[in-house]
Chains A and B, each alone.
Chain A
């Protein structure tokens, strides 16, 4: 089955620790995205990548970092510099750039205390 997987589903960390969220897709999509969702809100773009070894900042990139070493994988690191890291994180992919239909993974709920 083709799709997008994110792991883990739930993640708990202590303040001051970096944490990496996994996102893998087997849809052969070129573009991948990371979004953040806070309770009762829409999604906000953190980072996106249109091709391997290239990525761009979204609206709320501060305190986050990404890498795109393989087409299938786009991990997101939430660093200790992110002031309010507790949120629901969603990964997405699309065949091409933003005008193409995006598909989403199941998400990771991160809680930092």
Chain B
């Protein structure tokens, strides 16, 4: 089945710093989503981005489908950005999740 790898596994930033999270996948996809899991466990949809580039405020994402990777950019990070960021892609009739990047933003 399709494999999803996220990097880095852990990231610690000072408030105001920028960061880039990466998601590599092993096969072509029709669906790629980025989620933020907050400290209470809720999964918040960030982007639905099987290809191309999207921006939403301080966050943006780019998926290069032909090279099988996606990047999530966080600019001017805030403490509320802390949590785990998951990438998920469709594979064999289901959504396959990476193991996530745990982001900690310190004040």
One digit per residue, 1 when the CB lies within 8 angstroms of any chain A CB and 0 when it does not, for chain B 53-90 equals 00000000000000000000000000000000010101
Interface size class of B (residues with CB under 8 A): 20 to 34
B15-35, CB < 8 A from A: 30-31, 33, 35
Q: What bracket does the count of chain A residues touching chain B fall in? A: 20 to 34
B98 adjacent to A42 (CB under 8 Å): yes
Shortest CB–CB separation between residue B50 and chain A, in angstroms?
8
Number of A-B residue pairs with CB-CB distance less than 8 Å in the complex they form: 50
B40 partner residues in chain A, CB cutoff 8 A: 106
Check if A112 is an interface residue, CB within 8 A of chain B: no
Instruction: Give every chain A residue within 8 A of B35 (Cβ-Cβ).
Output: 104
Contact B41 A109 (CB under 8 A): yes
Determine if A104 and B43 form an interchain contact, defined as CB atoms under 8 angstroms apart: yes
- Provide the residues of chain A in CB contact with B42, threshold 8 Å: 104, 106-107
Question: 7 interchain pairs (CB within 8 A)?
Answer: A41-B99, A42-B86, A43-B88, A44-B97, A101-B45, A104-B42, A106-B40
